[in-house]
């Protein structure tokens, strides 16, 4: 039995004494302990070495003490497993040397044996579970098919993903074929994560907000919902779409256990758009962690008051920034634990 099951109880919609708290990217660059490992090992070595991934996952549990751990990995391990070459360039981010721009290239992308190509992730889960020793639940995650598609087609990060969108609109058959392959792989991958010990799953739709509401339904939500439908009978599923407040109503009708909200949508609007009955997660502006500690604590308490303590998981509205002082991250978590 997991000793601190607050996060899982909130996901199930149970009444809790206080909301649980964790932070997206909590195993990351704001921690000196993480930076020490980053300086010794390159990114994919950290992802692909179970001992390193497990150690990085557990670091914030020891230091910041949130109510859940999230496995250290990356959304781009999925396209790599599908035969799409991904490189990580310092100060630039992920690069796809041969971006996908034709049906011919889509046909070369394959659905892998996930235990073979992503077995290192499953090993990291088992090792992490041992190290966590049932203290807190472990979250597994994947990028949404649309978000993976954006990198695969654009070839790199972008402010607007015009090339990826253009591919959808000019070659819809090829776009849908690629999105379906990513979806099928993601379902297989997440099912194995659950089988190996993850207690919940989060789907990150980082670039969903780049699409219009109509295009979002066609090129993103349709595929996310396939994943939700496949995973919901096995575990709790959280869907987080950055900039996707316009889809919250549609998302709330799915089998997802919780929906993530970014800081551009107020708690009141998020509750209104989702009908007030589904667990919500979010939505503290990550930059706000640069505020003085008393301000952080005051704002966190106000945020909980606005969302309500039940059917709510405290989190940031996106990943924690690298320049956040550790004391400020701790204050964010402590503020939730002190909430009355």
Sign of CA dihedral 239, 245, 251, 253: positive
Q: How far apart are alpha carbons 279 and 206 in whole angstroms?
A: 20
Q: Taking residues 110-116, what's their average pLDDT?
A: 98
Residue 140 lies in a domain: yes
> pLDDT digits over 10-69, tens only?
999 999 999 999 999 999 999 999 999 999 999 999 999 999 999 999 999 999 999 999
For the segment 171-188, the average pLDDT, to the nearest whole number, is 98
User: Is 217 a domain residue?
Assistant: yes
Position 1 in a domain: no
Q: In whole numbers, what is the pLDDT of the chain averaged over residues?
A: 97
pLDDT at position 164: 98
Q: Is the pLDDT of residue 90 over 90?
A: no
Percent of the chain with pLDDT over 90: 98
24: which 2 tokens? 């997206």
Beta carbons of 270 and 280 less than 8 angstroms apart: yes
Report whether pLDDT(139) > 80: yes
- 214 exposed, middle or buried (CB, 10 Å; 0-12, 13-18, 19+)? exposed
Instruction: Please give the residue range of the domain that contains residue 138.
Output: 6-337
Alpha carbons 43 and 157: distance in angstroms, whole number: 17
Residue 52 lies in a domain: yes
| Tokens matching residue 264 | 């551009």
Contacts of 82 (CB under 8 A, 6+ apart): 109, 110, 111, 112, 181, 182, 185
Strands 236-241 and 200-205: parallel
Tell me if 285 is assigned to some domain. yes
Give me Rg for the CA atoms of the chain: 19
The region of weakest confidence among 86-90, 123-127, 240-244 is 86-90
pLDDT bucket at 178, cuts 50 / 70 / 90: very high
| pLDDT value of position 93 | 86
Find the CATH number of the domain harbouring 141. 3.20.20.210
Q: Which residues contact 63 (CB under 8 A, 6 or more apart)?
A: 31, 33, 326, 330
Q: Residue 297 contacts by C-beta under 8 Å, 6 or more apart in sequence?
A: 331, 334, 335, 338
What average pLDDT does the segment 219-229 reach?
98
Tokens for 213, please give them: 């509401």
Q: What 3-state DSSP class applies to 215?
A: helix
Comparison of pLDDT for 93 and 36, the residue scoring more = 36
The candidate with the shortest Cα–Cα distance to 314, out of 290, 292, 289, 335, is 335
Q: What is the pLDDT of residue 91?
A: 78
Task: Check whether 128 has a pLDDT greater than 80.
Answer: yes
**Residue-level pLDDT at 98:** 97
Number of independent structural domains in the chain = 1
Query: How many Cβ atoms from other residues are within 10 Å of residue 45's Cβ?
Result: 12
CB 2 within 8 A of CB 136: yes
Give mean pLDDT, residues 301-309.
Answer: 98
Binding-site positions for substrate = 25-29, 44, 74, 151, 206, 318
Q: Residue 88 pLDDT more than 90? A: no
Give the residue numbers annotated as catalytic, written as ranges. 25, 29, 38, 74, 151
3-class SS of residue 236: strand
Q: Check pLDDT > 80 for residue 323.
A: yes
How confident is residue 115, by pLDDT bands cut at 50, 70 and 90?
very high
Q: Is the peptide bond before 118 cis (omega within 30 degrees of 0)?
A: no
Q: Has residue 78 got a pLDDT over 90?
A: yes
| % of the chain residues with pLDDT over 70 | 100
Q: For residue 161, what pLDDT band results from cuts at 50, 70 and 90?
A: very high
Answer whether residue 153 is part of any domain: yes
Checking if the pLDDT of 200 tops 90, the result is: yes
CA nearest neighbour of 180 among 216, 114, 239, 224: 224
> Pseudo-torsion of CA 235, 241, 247, 250, nearest 10°?
0
C-alpha 12/C-alpha 3 separation (Å) is 17
pLDDT of residue 116: 97
Binding-site positions read 25-29, 44, 74, 151, 206, 318
Per-residue pLDDT reduced to its tens digit, 244-282: 999 999 999 999 999 999 999 999 999 999 999 999 999
């Amino acid at each position: 039995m997991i000793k601190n099951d607050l996060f899982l109880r909130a996901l199930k919609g149970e009444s809790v004494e206080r909301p649980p708290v964790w932070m997206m990217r909590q195993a990351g660059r704001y921690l000196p302990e993480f930076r020490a490992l980053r300086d010794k090992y390159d990114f994919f070595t950290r992802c692909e070495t179970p001992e390193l991934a497990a150690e990085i996952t557990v670091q914030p549990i020891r230091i910041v003490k949130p109510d859940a751990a999230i496995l250290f990995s990356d959304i781009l391990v999925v396209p790599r497993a599908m035969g799409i070459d991904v490189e990580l360039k310092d100060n630039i981010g992920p690069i796809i040397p041969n971006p996908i721009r034709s049906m011919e290239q889509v046909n070369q992308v394959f659905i892998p044996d996930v235990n073979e190509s992503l077995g290192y992730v499953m090993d990291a889960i088992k090792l992490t579970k041992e190290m966590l020793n049932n203290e807190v639940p472990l979250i597994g995650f994947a990028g949404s098919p649309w978000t993976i598609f954006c990198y695969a087609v654009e070839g790199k990060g972008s402010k607007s993903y015009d090339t990826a969108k253009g591919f959808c609109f000019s070659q819809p058959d090829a776009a849908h074929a690629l999105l379906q392959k990513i979806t099928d792989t993601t379902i297989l991958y997440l099912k194995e994560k659950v089988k190996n010990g993850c207690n919940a799953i989060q789907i990150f739709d980082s670039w969903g907000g780049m699409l219009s509401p109509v295009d979002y339904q066609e090129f993103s939500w349709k595929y996310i919902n396939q994943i939700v439908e496949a995973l919901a009978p096995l575990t709790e599923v959280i869907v987080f779409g950055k900039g996707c407040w316009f889809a919250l109503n549609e998302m709330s009708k799915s089998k997802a256990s919780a929906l993530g909200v970014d800081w551009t949508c107020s708690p009141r609007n998020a509750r209104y758009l989702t009908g007030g009955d589904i667990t919500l997660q979010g939505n503290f502006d990550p930059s706000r962690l640069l505020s003085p500690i008393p301000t952080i604590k005051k704002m966190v308490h106000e945020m909980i008051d606005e969302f309500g303590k039940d059917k709510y998981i405290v989190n940031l509205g996106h990943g924690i920034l690298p320049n956040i002082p550790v004391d400020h991250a701790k204050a964010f978590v402590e503020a939730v634990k002190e909430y009355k």
